[in-house]
Amino acid sequence: MPKPIFLIGYMGSGKTTLGKKLANRLGLPFIDTDEEIVKEIGMTITEYFGQFGEDEFRKLERAQLRRFADNYAVISTGGGAPCFFDNMEWIKANGYAIYLYMTPKALFDRLSQSKLHKRPILIGKSPEELRAFIEEKLTEREPYYTQAHLTIDQLNTTVEDLVSMINQHNR
């Protein structure tokens, strides 16, 4: 049975947007693990973080990833998901991991234009603080992200290019 395609990368890298397009193009279901967590817990991730803390959220996120092991689907993970426990090893063993790479500047440009209420961790940060935050977190997370089977330049890779790369890998 074919394995799921896991999209990994920093917040704002386009995992959900590209994921929906890729799933549509491949005729596969699309699953956003953050959306699934919100449905399960009945509150926003920010509320859950506030009430139970990051450790409990990361355990929930880990369980959510494993729930989709048997789904041949395009799965968008939370930005931090690959960086905790053995999640990246598990993703690679149970699916095809694609890292949506973007430069810190491109992420800053995109995130500074995003709806901040959807990204509460960014609220109240000055442009300089936001830039530093992105650079720091990306530096922490890249050793995990770069373990993916495939790394793409998110801004310069079309869905058609990505489909071709996936098909080449699956030969």
Please state the residue numbers annotated as binding site. Answer: 12-17, 34, 58, 79, 119, 141
State the binding site for Mg(2+).
16
Q: What DSSP assignment string belongs to 86-138?
A: THHHHHHHHSEEEEEE--HHHHHHHHHTS-GGG-GGGTT--HHHHHHHHHHHH
Contact between 46 and 120 (Cβ < 8 Å): yes
State the binding site for substrate.
34, 58, 79, 141
Contact between 107 and 101 (Cβ < 8 Å): no
Distance CA 20, CA 109 (A): 22
| Residue 7, strand partner residues | 76, 98
Give the residue from 77, 101, 96, 94 showing the smallest Cα distance to 26. Answer: 96
| Residue 31, strand partner residues | 75
State the binding site for ATP.
12-17, 119
